Structure 1
Amino acid sequence: MRAKLNATKTRAALRNSARISLQMLLILLLMGVGLWLLGWMWPVVWPLVIGLLLATLTWPMTRFLRKRRWPPALAASVVTILFLVGSAGILALIAVPVASQSGELVDGVVDGIQQLRQWASGPPLNIGDDQISSALDTAVARIQDSIGNILNAAVTGVGAVANGLITAVLALFLMFFFLKDGPRFLPWLSRQLPGRLASDVPAVAERCWHTLSSFVKSQAFVGLLDGVFIGLGLWIVGVPLVLPLAVLTFVAAFVPIVGALFAGVVAVLIALVSNGLTDALIVLAIIIAVQQLEGNVFQPMLQSRSLGLHAGVVLLAVTLGGSLTGITGSLLAVPVAAMIAVVWGYIREQLSDPVEEPEAVRDELP
């Protein structure tokens, strides 16, 4: 009798395991189909994501104007124009000082190359001019042999720039429409959905909007910290173009990994050609220290507080996103993880049993 009971339990456990495994396979299949559709629609989804992030960044100013009884279209237009003017001002703030000191930078580059050649010709390398000339001839020959690949890469680069411009224009228009018609979207969505979805989906969408807003604000604050501390270090060392480099560091903070690397390389190169190797090494040490603090301390702490995620989850999300889809994955990993947490939290709230109130408390309620 006991053996038959154990066999029955075993068969029931196997049936449950098979059913759960089948459900997991179906979920993975649906996720695969969803990712395939996302990749197929990516030329449309990517401008939509950028426009949404820009809208969360500029919405506070739009909300301020709308509370002052500005028409929605006028408020969105003014904020969009101010955003364009501010972006152009940032570019000018970077480009004008660089252009004004371009002569000094070119002379510094030439001097740096001469110093590098003199250092290479001495011990311990003892590289002579004939060896350098031979290496240059070899490099020129290789470039000539691979001229076709270079042209293909150039055409690909031009296409990437054109796609980037199209994406930027689409994102800007989408930002304008989000700012103009954003508050009307949730009521419209509620009217389109049946049953309980009419209240659940808008509630989750509103929470996700606040999560995205918190992400953009925390990222801007982290970029401000990077720009201030690195700019202060450059000013102490005496590197030229401190203000453009600080602004470049702030802007680059919105592009994970590559942005910080690019801004750091530019700062080190300018320190090398203008101040020499010692100051360049000092600047490199400053940038590494600030970026380590930013990446491992400030950013996880700020994003964990504003997004409701643990600092370890933030680090793991960025690592996973970067390993899966590169820079784009690193950029979107944290907000996606935060929105997943929002959706899961809402589902947990809806599935949890309501807390029973004591009889005495219920009697006292009106």
Structure 2
Amino acid sequence: MTATLSSTKTRAALRTTARASAELLLILLMLAVTLWILGRMWSVVWPLVVGLLLTTLTWPPTRFLRRRGWKPAPAASAVTVLFLLVAMGFVALIAVPVASQSGELTDGVVEGIQKLREWAAGPPLNIGDAQINKAFDTAVSRAQDGLGSMVGVVVTGVSTVVNGLVTAVLALFLMFFFLKDGPRFLPWLAHQLPGRLATDVPTVASRGWDTLGSFVRSQAAVGLLDAVLIGLGLWILGVPLVLPLAVLTFVSAFVPIIGALFAGFVAVLIALVSNGLTDALIVLAIIIVVQQLEGNVFQPMIQSRGLGLHAAVILLAVTLGGNLAGIVGSLLAVPIAALIAVVWSYVREQLREPSDPGTDESAAGADAAVPS
């Protein structure tokens, strides 16, 4: 006996599917419009983002001074001046030499890729396929573009380019105001919003700020340790371009997983070109050891809680960010994904049924996934 479909249930299922599809399309349209607006306002948004990131680094010393009785304005001024002095020292001692050696670094990477290409074409692999050659040509082009972009990020705000200088000045002023008036922002925001938004928005903003601060500070500390240890190993082996490679390692730390692979690949190629295969293998071993120390020792010590993001989510976020906005998108992809996770976690908490017996345990797990 053959069962027949219920026309009533079929129409109900189609209506539900159509309604869900329409709602999804509206959400995607809203996201597209939001991204378009942000793109049109990028000259303002980018200094704001840089200012927020700098504030996450400089807020701990400001908070320390304020707890010691300093007024908000003097504390923010002192930290801003100190940060400016450190930044000027960075420009004089690191950024300028790195920029001057960026062309040599790119040439070394290209030469290293060509050596790999010649090795793959010879015995025992004997790879001569045109597609493989095309892949190597693409790798050369991407290495040149990627290194140029990475060096540009390293010297952003300190170069002679007018846009970079304007961004740096605006970000510095915004950082000062964030340091001075930041603690008053959430109470002010709560008074401006109606109904439960006065509670929801400040709560999400507070959690997002904690997550962002934890990510930036931990990645900066871990990146500095990686740069010092790997740079020391390169210096002992006599590999050239130690300073640019160390700076590249530090900057790459802000792009989890992919950044470490990229910086390590560049260091091994430079060692292969300049010192030969033996030293290149030693550099590879040093990078592997340092990365293992980072994942199992440094990261747990510096950042007690993770971002609550799976490694696959991080990889996808970095890839999507790079495709949409290049190196800037790769740098911002993970913190943006973490902020989205914070919002989603809060929405889930609010949508749970009060009678759900697992509510308390689930909420505790969600809170544990968000760093403070």
What TM-score results when the alignment is normalised by the length of structure 2?
A: 0.67
Q: Report the 3-state secondary structure (helix = DSSP H, G, I; strand = E; otherwise coil) of the residue aligned with 2:354.
A: coil
Q: 1:241 to 1:12 in 2, by over 3 A?
A: closer
Q: Report the 3-state secondary structure (helix = DSSP H, G, I; strand = E; otherwise coil) of the residue aligned with 1:55.
A: helix
Q: Percent identity?
A: 64
**Counterpart-to-counterpart distance in 2, 1:21 and 1:298:** 46
Q: Give the alignment of 1:85-124 within 5 angstroms.
A: 85-94=85-94
Contact 1:190 1:202 in 2 (8 A): yes
2:137 maps to none
**Counterpart-to-counterpart distance in 2, 1:278 and 1:287:** 14
Contact 2:218 2:299 in 1 (8 A): no
Contact 2:191 2:198 in 1 (8 A): yes
2:188 maps to 188
Moved over 6 A (4+): 95-98, 255-260, 270-273, 294-304
Deviations 1:293-338, CA, capped at 9 Å, x for gaps: 6999899988894312222222221122112221111111111111
Q: 1:202 to 1:342 in 2, by over 3 A?
A: same
**Counterpart-to-counterpart distance in 2, 1:173 and 1:286:** 43
1:281 maps to 280
**Counterpart-to-counterpart distance in 2, 1:322 and 1:297:** 27
Is the aligned partner of 1:208 residue 2:208? yes
Contact 2:226 2:250 in 1 (8 A): yes
Q: Give the alignment of 1:17-56 within 5 angstroms.
A: 17-56=17-56
**Counterpart-to-counterpart distance in 2, 1:272 and 1:354:** 64
Contact 1:226 1:249 in 2 (8 A): yes
| Letter matched to residue 67 of structure 1 | R
| Letter matched to residue 50 of structure 2 | I
Q: Give the alignment of 1:87-166 within 5 angstroms.
A: 87-94=87-94, 161-166=161-166
Q: Give 5+ residue unaligned stretches, structure 2.
A: 108-121, 123-158, 358-372
**Counterpart-to-counterpart distance in 2, 1:84 and 1:4:** 75
Report the CA distance between 1:231 and its aligned residue: 2.0
Contact 1:230 1:287 in 2 (8 A): yes
2:314 maps to 314
| Letter matched to residue 89 of structure 1 | G
**Counterpart-to-counterpart distance in 2, 1:96 and 1:5:** 73
Q: 1:298 to 1:48 in 2, by over 3 A?
A: farther
**Counterpart-to-counterpart distance in 1, 2:344 and 2:49:** 21
Contact 1:272 1:280 in 2 (8 A): no
| Letter matched to residue 209 of structure 1 | W
Q: Report the 3-state secondary structure (helix = DSSP H, G, I; strand = E; otherwise coil) of the residue aligned with 1:69.
A: coil
**Counterpart-to-counterpart distance in 1, 2:22 and 2:170:** 41
Deviations 1:273-303, CA, capped at 9 Å, x for gaps: 7xx5567635763576478769998999888
Q: 1:299 to 1:318 in 2, by over 3 A?
A: farther
Contact 2:268 2:280 in 1 (8 A): no
| Letter matched to residue 280 of structure 2 | L
1:116 maps to none
Q: 1:74 to 1:328 in 2, by over 3 A?
A: same
| Letter matched to residue 230 of structure 2 | I
Q: 1:233 to 1:8 in 2, by over 3 A?
A: same
1:336 maps to 336
Q: 1:96 to 1:175 in 2, by over 3 A?
A: closer
Q: Report the 3-state secondary structure (helix = DSSP H, G, I; strand = E; otherwise coil) of the residue aligned with 2:161.
A: helix
Q: Report the 3-state secondary structure (helix = DSSP H, G, I; strand = E; otherwise coil) of the residue aligned with 1:306.
A: coil
Report the CA distance between 1:85 and its aligned residue: 1.2
Q: 1:169 to 1:45 in 2, by over 3 A?
A: same
Q: 1:345 to 1:248 in 2, by over 3 A?
A: closer
Report the CA distance between 1:11 and its aligned residue: 1.4
**Counterpart-to-counterpart distance in 2, 1:203 and 1:341:** 14
Per mean C-alpha deviation after superposition, the further-off stretch among 207-216 and 14-23 is 14-23
Deviations 1:166-210, CA, capped at 9 Å, x for gaps: 111111111111101000100111111011101110000000000
Contact 1:61 1:79 in 2 (8 A): yes
Report the CA distance between 1:63 and its aligned residue: 0.3
Q: 1:309 to 1:92 in 2, by over 3 A?
A: same
RMSD value, Cα: 4.1
Contact 1:76 1:179 in 2 (8 A): yes
Contact 1:207 1:342 in 2 (8 A): yes
Contact 1:226 1:291 in 2 (8 A): yes
Report the CA distance between 1:48 and its aligned residue: 0.4
Q: Report the 3-state secondary structure (helix = DSSP H, G, I; strand = E; otherwise coil) of the residue aligned with 1:307.
A: coil
Contact 2:237 2:279 in 1 (8 A): no
Structure 1 or 2, whichever has the larger Rg, is 1
2:347 maps to 347
1:70 maps to 70
| Letter matched to residue 185 of structure 1 | F
